[in-house]
Protein backbone atom coordinates (compact mmCIF):
# COMPACT_ATOMS: atom_id res chain seq x y z
CA UNK A 1 0.00 0.00 0.00
CA UNK A 2 1.61 3.23 -1.17
CA UNK A 3 1.74 6.37 0.94
CA UNK A 4 -0.09 9.54 -0.07
CA UNK A 5 1.96 12.34 -1.59
CA UNK A 6 1.83 15.65 0.25
CA UNK A 7 2.37 18.28 -2.40
CA UNK A 8 3.61 21.02 -0.05
CA UNK A 9 6.17 18.72 1.56
CA UNK A 10 7.43 17.69 -1.86
CA UNK A 11 7.58 21.29 -3.07
CA UNK A 12 9.77 22.16 -0.09
CA UNK A 13 12.41 19.78 -1.50
CA UNK A 14 12.72 21.69 -4.76
CA UNK A 15 15.45 24.32 -4.87
CA UNK A 16 15.75 25.08 -8.55
CA UNK A 17 13.53 26.70 -11.14
CA UNK A 18 12.21 25.10 -14.35
CA UNK A 19 13.12 21.55 -13.29
CA UNK A 20 9.99 19.43 -12.86
CA UNK A 21 10.16 16.53 -10.40
CA UNK A 22 7.89 13.51 -10.60
CA UNK A 23 5.81 12.77 -7.48
CA UNK A 24 3.30 10.21 -8.77
CA UNK A 25 2.36 8.08 -11.74
CA UNK A 26 -1.10 7.07 -12.94
CA UNK A 27 -1.04 4.53 -15.78
CA UNK A 28 1.54 6.05 -18.16
CA UNK A 29 1.00 9.61 -16.95
CA UNK A 30 3.13 11.52 -14.49
CA UNK A 31 2.34 14.19 -11.92
CA UNK A 32 5.25 16.63 -11.62
CA UNK A 33 5.94 19.55 -9.31
CA UNK A 34 7.97 22.55 -10.36
CA UNK A 35 8.95 26.01 -9.21
CA UNK A 36 8.97 28.55 -12.00
CA UNK A 37 10.49 32.02 -12.08
CA UNK A 38 11.34 34.22 -15.03
CA UNK A 39 10.75 33.50 -18.69
CA UNK A 40 10.85 30.02 -20.14
CA UNK A 41 11.47 29.20 -23.80
CA UNK A 42 8.85 29.04 -26.52
CA UNK A 43 8.12 25.39 -27.19
CA UNK A 44 5.40 22.88 -27.94
CA UNK A 45 4.71 19.21 -27.30
CA UNK A 46 3.79 17.60 -30.58
CA UNK A 47 2.26 14.43 -29.16
CA UNK A 48 0.36 15.46 -26.07
CA UNK A 49 -1.70 18.05 -24.25
CA UNK A 50 -0.11 19.39 -21.06
CA UNK A 51 -1.84 20.41 -17.83
CA UNK A 52 -0.66 23.26 -15.60
CA UNK A 53 -2.24 23.67 -12.17
CA UNK A 54 -1.06 26.64 -10.12
CA UNK A 55 -0.57 25.71 -6.46
CA UNK A 56 1.00 28.99 -5.38
CA UNK A 57 1.69 32.34 -7.01
CA UNK A 58 0.82 33.49 -10.47
CA UNK A 59 1.77 32.21 -13.90
CA UNK A 60 1.27 33.61 -17.35
CA UNK A 61 1.23 31.17 -20.24
CA UNK A 62 2.00 33.12 -23.37
CA UNK A 63 0.51 31.73 -26.55
CA UNK A 64 1.09 32.96 -30.09
CA UNK A 65 -2.44 34.41 -30.15
CA UNK A 66 -2.58 35.83 -26.63
CA UNK A 67 -1.78 34.99 -23.04
CA UNK A 68 -3.50 33.17 -20.21
CA UNK A 69 -3.13 34.50 -16.66
CA UNK A 70 -3.30 31.82 -13.98
CA UNK A 71 -3.60 32.29 -10.23
CA UNK A 72 -3.64 29.82 -7.36
CA UNK A 73 -6.27 27.17 -7.94
CA UNK A 74 -6.37 27.66 -11.70
CA UNK A 75 -5.90 24.77 -14.11
CA UNK A 76 -5.08 25.14 -17.79
CA UNK A 77 -4.66 22.63 -20.60
CA UNK A 78 -2.16 23.57 -23.30
CA UNK A 79 -3.32 21.63 -26.36
CA UNK A 80 -1.02 19.29 -28.24
CA UNK A 81 1.20 21.12 -30.70
CA UNK A 82 0.39 24.61 -29.44
CA UNK A 83 3.41 26.83 -28.91
CA UNK A 84 3.56 28.29 -25.43
CA UNK A 85 5.93 30.11 -23.11
CA UNK A 86 5.39 30.08 -19.33
CA UNK A 87 6.42 33.32 -17.61
CA UNK A 88 6.41 34.00 -13.86
CA UNK A 89 7.40 37.42 -12.56
CA UNK A 90 7.66 36.03 -9.04
CA UNK A 91 8.27 32.42 -8.11
CA UNK A 92 5.27 30.28 -8.86
CA UNK A 93 4.62 26.67 -7.85
CA UNK A 94 2.83 24.35 -10.21
CA UNK A 95 1.64 20.81 -10.69
CA UNK A 96 2.09 19.45 -14.21
CA UNK A 97 0.32 16.42 -15.64
CA UNK A 98 1.55 14.79 -18.82
CA UNK A 99 2.55 11.41 -20.21
CA UNK A 100 5.78 9.81 -19.01
CA UNK A 101 8.68 10.87 -21.22
CA UNK A 102 7.67 14.46 -21.97
CA UNK A 103 10.65 16.83 -21.88
CA UNK A 104 10.05 20.26 -20.37
CA UNK A 105 11.33 22.18 -23.37
CA UNK A 106 9.49 20.03 -25.91
CA UNK A 107 11.16 20.24 -29.31
CA UNK A 108 13.01 23.43 -28.44
CA UNK A 109 15.86 22.12 -26.25
CA UNK A 110 18.35 24.69 -24.96
CA UNK A 111 19.80 25.65 -21.61
CA UNK A 112 16.54 25.25 -19.73
CA UNK A 113 16.03 21.64 -20.74
CA UNK A 114 15.81 19.67 -17.50
CA UNK A 115 16.64 16.01 -16.85
CA UNK A 116 13.51 13.97 -17.35
CA UNK A 117 11.85 11.44 -15.04
CA UNK A 118 13.54 12.66 -11.85
CA UNK A 119 11.51 11.72 -8.77
CA UNK A 120 11.39 13.39 -5.41
Residue 112 CB, nearest distance to its own copies (Å)? 23
Residue 26 CB, nearest distance to its own copies (Å)? 4
Q: Please give the torsion angle defined by the CA atoms of residues 28, 102, 16 and 84, in that order, rounded to the nearest 10 degrees.
A: -130
Residue 111 CB, nearest distance to its own copies (Å)? 28
Per CB under 8 A, residues contacting its own copies are: 1-8, 23-27, 29, 31, 48-51, 53, 63, 65-66, 68-71, 73-77, 79-80, 97-99
DSSP assigned state of 10: H
d(CA 38, CA 25): 28
Amino acid sequence: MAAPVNLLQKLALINEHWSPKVVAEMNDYQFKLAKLKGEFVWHSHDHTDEVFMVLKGELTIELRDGAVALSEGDLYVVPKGVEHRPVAQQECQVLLVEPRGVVNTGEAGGDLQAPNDVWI
